[in-house]
Chain A
Amino acid sequence: MQTNESIEKKIIIFRLGEEEFGIPVELVKSIEKVQSITRVPGTASYITGVLNLRGVITPVIDLRERFELGSYESTELTRMIVVSINDTEAGLIADSANDVIDIRTEQIEPSPEVAGIIKTDYISGVVKVDKRLIIMLDLEEVLHSAPSLASSGA
């Protein structure tokens, strides 16, 4: 029996450079290898484009570009994490994604003032597991706080 304090939570872990990020598993629909992406003109630079995900046109966001770390380089390990939040689906490109861990909610600590490579706006908290520090992403923020898309390409 668990105490009501500690609710188990599964999170998907992915990497950008040296850092590890986490997203709750219920928001993740699938993890895919990066297929060919069609560029959409007139959109923000971190929007790599759209791709066909089993018949659904899905926008793809380059997380590196999103966090102003330069654009991603495709390797064998590069993965796209397909997330779905508030009826919006998107693929997030990460350097690699290969881990699922269980945490308890009380392990999540509030986001620190400085959290390494990305702005704290995008962080909902951090989790320490053994010696790893996992940054929990605030997906809503990642998907929506963008300045409005370029609307004039002419």
Chain B
Amino acid sequence: MEMSQYLEIFIEESKEHLQACNEKLLELEKSPENLSIVNDIFRSAHTLKGMSATMGYEDLANLTHQMENVLDAIRNGKNSVTPVLLDTVFASVDLLEEMVLSIADGGDGKKDVKHVVSRLKAIENGSDVPQPVDPSPQVSAENKLGSYDDFQKTVILQSKEQGFHAFELTVQLREGCLLKAVRAFMVFEILDQAGEIVKSVPSVDQLEEENFEYEFSVAILTQMSKEELESRILKVSEIEKVSALPIHLEQLAVQEETAAAFQQAAAASSELASAPEAVQKAKTSSKTIRVNIDRLDILMNLFEELVIDRGRLETISKDLKNAELQETVERMTRISGDLQSIILNMRMVPIETVFNRFPRMVRQLAKDLNKKIDLHISGAETELDRTVIDEIGDPLVHLIRNSMDHGIEAPEIRAGKGKSETGRVELKAYHSGNHVFIEVSDDGAGINREKVLWRAIERGIVTEQSSLEMTERQINELIFAPGFSTAEQISDISGRGVGLDVVKSAIEALGGSVTVDSEEGKGSLFSVQLPLTLSIISVLLVELEKEKYAIPISSVIETAVIRKEDIMNAHNQKVIDFRGKIVPLVFLKQIFDVPHAEAEDSEFLSMVVVKKGERLAGLVVDSFIGQLEVVLKPLGNYLNGVFAISGATILGDGEVALIVDCNALIK
């Protein structure tokens, strides 16, 4: 059988299963008694074993088989989850990962697995047999009816107030009783006369179907005494025994509270697990299909053409004023609008896929660094365009490593400072406007600005002179400067001597930005801002004579109309006082050398205020057309590096509008 066609699927799925194993193992570490987690890991391992055996990767299959055995032993209560066992299983998963990666790189996936296999075997055979712990609270033997719902409780309480007794009646039929359902029916007849039945276990339906052994319980409200009730029921033939117990709701309440407290405790402990979202995800997973991203790109391109033709159709139908045509075009517009959002959504992937790899990384790294670190992840469901997702992983790895290595202090030092020994690294993603923010924060030492400055001056990144005027923020940002590293030695952990400048440039290449806030002794916060998608942006369309230009909304602060006489001159630069700030004016018509017809001298000028970081500039244009969502397109190989133009877009009428690069215009 030719396997190569399945290879890609095999690799993808193996990676997924290994990722699942990693996640679940981390969960298991936090709640070692939870057998359902073991089951999940077992299933993943089992699937992996089957797949690799089919594909002919024997080492992979061997190792997974042995892992499966160990897991099976846990499932059957023959073995318990110990740190040694976890470490060994983690090591096996690491090995498996290596093998799968080697297969992905075109290797044969062979690896010496004997060592780990023998460790697994030793665990499987040698360990002592622990007592399986049953975490579920025992329901007390007397209370056969279990708990009552709110309605039943209210009924019981109210009738008690009215002088009724509430009994829990347990009826036992004689063994070998032939007409069980009939007997039950007869008992119910009597009870109906005696009072009101609140609840029965098993339910009436099941009793009718003889779906019970020889015993059933009923909760009843009656004015009869216990003895009277019992003797009446005993009159029915083939009844072995009947016992009535008064119901004490107060007692029930206490029982339930304990049970609830137990559940809460269980829930709380699972919340402590580093990836609570992962648990949710497993429940909501739906059927999916893998699609090559190139195909989605093609689909997107085709769709854009459709949108352009749609624009033309709209114009034609407006001109023709044919009602039927107009109606059809409107419908088409609506449908294609829906289509557009579907196509765009198809490219969106939850950032989970990136975040998933971090809990494991943090665990290992914390061990290597001899630090205690908890990783908290939130917002893993935040969606980003696939192209961004692919690129953001490595920069985040650097930032997290940086926080763990440079931020979080060693446990002794933390204790000395009065902090808890366990450091906290937080990874958070959320949407805001047309951007996604990803934050990496820690409660570590924060940035030592003096040290940073000293190092920066030493490396010649800033001069001593200019360093005096720097703001705290500017000093913080120095750590992103090329050639900067505060580590006394280049460690393997914070990125093999690769500085944060690489992180910064990687993020900027994606059209995003990264900032850092820090308080010494309290910790640091790295905030990465990314565009939702690389291909669709919101722009403000403006007109310069007959030409149209698009200004990305992300850099626009506001639009304004100014009077010509308000323009001032400062250092050969035209400026304007805008809300108390001196804002330089940029005349786009001059910058873009727009051919102008007649010099029309208007008293007013339209201005778009744009920002680059903290700095502002006013772009002077002829008129505003409006805001719209456009597909960002590159100008192509031939025209790269055009000043102040970052790309182009196709408007509804098929014309091309250029996108203004505000960053280039503000110096």
The chain A residues found within 8 Å of chain B, CB to CB, are 35-36, 38-43, 47, 49-52, 54-59, 87-90, 143, 149-154
B591 to chain A: which residues have CB within 8 Å? 41, 153-154
CB pair B644–A52 under 8 Å, yes or no, is no
CB pair B636–A149 under 8 Å, yes or no, is no
Question: Which chain B residues in 582-632 approach chain A with CB under 8 Å?
Answer: 591-594
The distance in angstroms between the C-alpha atoms of A87 and B635, with both chains bound, is 13
CB pair A88–B593 under 8 Å, yes or no, is no
CB pair A38–B636 under 8 Å, yes or no, is no
Question: Which chain B residues in 612-667 approach chain A with CB under 8 Å?
Answer: 633-639, 641-645, 648, 650, 654-658
A150 to chain B: which residues have CB within 8 Å? 643
Of the candidates B637, B641, B648, B654, the one whose C-beta lies within 8 Å of that of A50 is: B648
CB pair A153–B593 under 8 Å, yes or no, is yes
Task: Give chain B nearest CB distance to A48 CB in angstroms.
Answer: 11
The distance in angstroms between the C-alpha atoms of A36 and B592, with both chains bound, is 19
Pick the interface stretch among B301-309, B464-472, B491-499, B563-571.
B301-309
CB pair B645–A41 under 8 Å, yes or no, is yes
Of the candidates A36, A42, A51, A88, the one whose C-beta lies within 8 Å of that of B642 is: A42
Given A59-B638, A88-B636, A149-B641, A42 and B593 contact (CB-CB distance below 8 Å)? yes
8 residue pairs bridging A and B, Cβ less than 8 Å apart: A41-B645, A50-B636, A51-B656, A52-B308, A57-B636, A57-B650, A149-B641, A153-B643
Task: Give chain B nearest CB distance to A73 CB in angstroms.
Answer: 17
Task: Give chain B nearest CB distance to A77 CB in angstroms.
Answer: 23
A41 to chain B: which residues have CB within 8 Å? 591-594, 642-645, 658
Of the candidates B302, B594, B635, B641, the one whose C-beta lies within 8 Å of that of A57 is: B635
Task: Give chain B nearest CB distance to A153 CB in angstroms.
Answer: 4
CB-nearest residue of chain B to A54: B305
Task: Give chain A nearest CB distance to B656 CB in angstroms.
Answer: 4
B636 to chain A: which residues have CB within 8 Å? 50, 56-59, 88-89
The distance in angstroms between the C-alpha atoms of A56 and B649, with both chains bound, is 9
Q: Which of A47, A52, A54, A149 has the most CB of B within 10 A?
A: A52
CB-nearest residue of chain A to B305: A55
CB-nearest residue of chain B to A47: B639
A47 to chain B: which residues have CB within 8 Å? 639
A154 to chain B: which residues have CB within 8 Å? 591, 643
Tell me if B547 is interfacial: C-beta within 8 Å of chain A: yes
Of the candidates A49, A55, A88, the one whose C-beta lies within 8 Å of that of B304 is: A55
B594 to chain A: which residues have CB within 8 Å? 41
The distance in angstroms between the C-alpha atoms of A57 and B650, with both chains bound, is 8
B637 to chain A: which residues have CB within 8 Å? 87-88
The distance in angstroms between the C-alpha atoms of A87 and B634, with both chains bound, is 14
CB pair B656–A38 under 8 Å, yes or no, is yes
CB pair A43–B305 under 8 Å, yes or no, is no
Please give 14 more A-B residue pairs, beta carbons under 8 A apart, in addition to A41-B658, A50-B635.
A35-B654, A41-B642, A41-B644, A42-B642, A42-B645, A52-B308, A52-B656, A55-B302, A55-B650, A56-B633, A89-B636, A143-B638, A151-B641, A154-B643
Task: Give chain A nearest CB distance to B462 CB in angstroms.
Answer: 27
Category for how many chain B residues contact A: 20 to 34
The distance in angstroms between the C-alpha atoms of A59 and B645, with both chains bound, is 14
Question: Which chain B residues in 148-185 approach chain A with CB under 8 Å?
Answer: none
Task: Give chain A nearest CB distance to B636 CB in angstroms.
Answer: 6
The distance in angstroms between the C-alpha atoms of A54 and B654, with both chains bound, is 9
The distance in angstroms between the C-alpha atoms of A90 and B644, with both chains bound, is 22
Task: Give chain A nearest CB distance to B172 CB in angstroms.
Answer: 80
The distance in angstroms between the C-alpha atoms of A55 and B631, with both chains bound, is 10
The distance in angstroms between the C-alpha atoms of A55 and B654, with both chains bound, is 9
CB-nearest residue of chain A to B307: A55
Q: Which of A42, A58, A89, A150 has the most CB of B within 10 A?
A: A42
CB-nearest residue of chain B to A51: B656
CB pair A52–B643 under 8 Å, yes or no, is no
B635 to chain A: which residues have CB within 8 Å? 40, 50, 57, 59
8 closest pairs, A vs B, by CB?
Answer: A41-B592, A38-B656, A153-B643, A42-B643, A52-B650, A59-B638, A57-B648, A88-B637
Interface string of B507-527 (1 = CB under 8 A from A): 000000000000000000000
The distance in angstroms between the C-alpha atoms of A89 and B636, with both chains bound, is 8
Task: Give chain B nearest CB distance to A111 CB in angstroms.
Answer: 25
B648 to chain A: which residues have CB within 8 Å? 38, 50, 57
The distance in angstroms between the C-alpha atoms of A49 and B648, with both chains bound, is 11
CB pair B658–A40 under 8 Å, yes or no, is yes
Task: Give chain B nearest CB distance to A74 CB in angstroms.
Answer: 16
Given A42-B593, A52-B654, A57-B656, A151 and B305 contact (CB-CB distance below 8 Å)? no
The distance in angstroms between the C-alpha atoms of A143 and B308, with both chains bound, is 29
CB-nearest residue of chain B to A58: B636
A49 to chain B: which residues have CB within 8 Å? 656
B654 to chain A: which residues have CB within 8 Å? 35, 52
Question: Which chain B residues in 19-68 approach chain A with CB under 8 Å?
Answer: none
Given A52-B656, A54-B305, A149 and B592 contact (CB-CB distance below 8 Å)? no
CB pair A52–B655 under 8 Å, yes or no, is yes
Task: Give chain A nearest CB distance to B119 CB in angstroms.
Answer: 52
CB-nearest residue of chain B to A87: B637
Task: Give chain A nearest CB distance to B642 CB in angstroms.
Answer: 5
The distance in angstroms between the C-alpha atoms of A143 and B637, with both chains bound, is 11
CB pair A57–B634 under 8 Å, yes or no, is yes
The distance in angstroms between the C-alpha atoms of A22 and B644, with both chains bound, is 36
CB pair B305–A39 under 8 Å, yes or no, is no
A56 to chain B: which residues have CB within 8 Å? 301, 633, 636
CB pair A88–B638 under 8 Å, yes or no, is yes
CB-nearest residue of chain A to B301: A55
The distance in angstroms between the C-alpha atoms of A149 and B643, with both chains bound, is 9
The distance in angstroms between the C-alpha atoms of A58 and B639, with both chains bound, is 9
CB-nearest residue of chain A to B640: A149
Task: Give chain A nearest CB distance to B660 CB in angstroms.
Answer: 10
CB-nearest residue of chain A to B595: A39
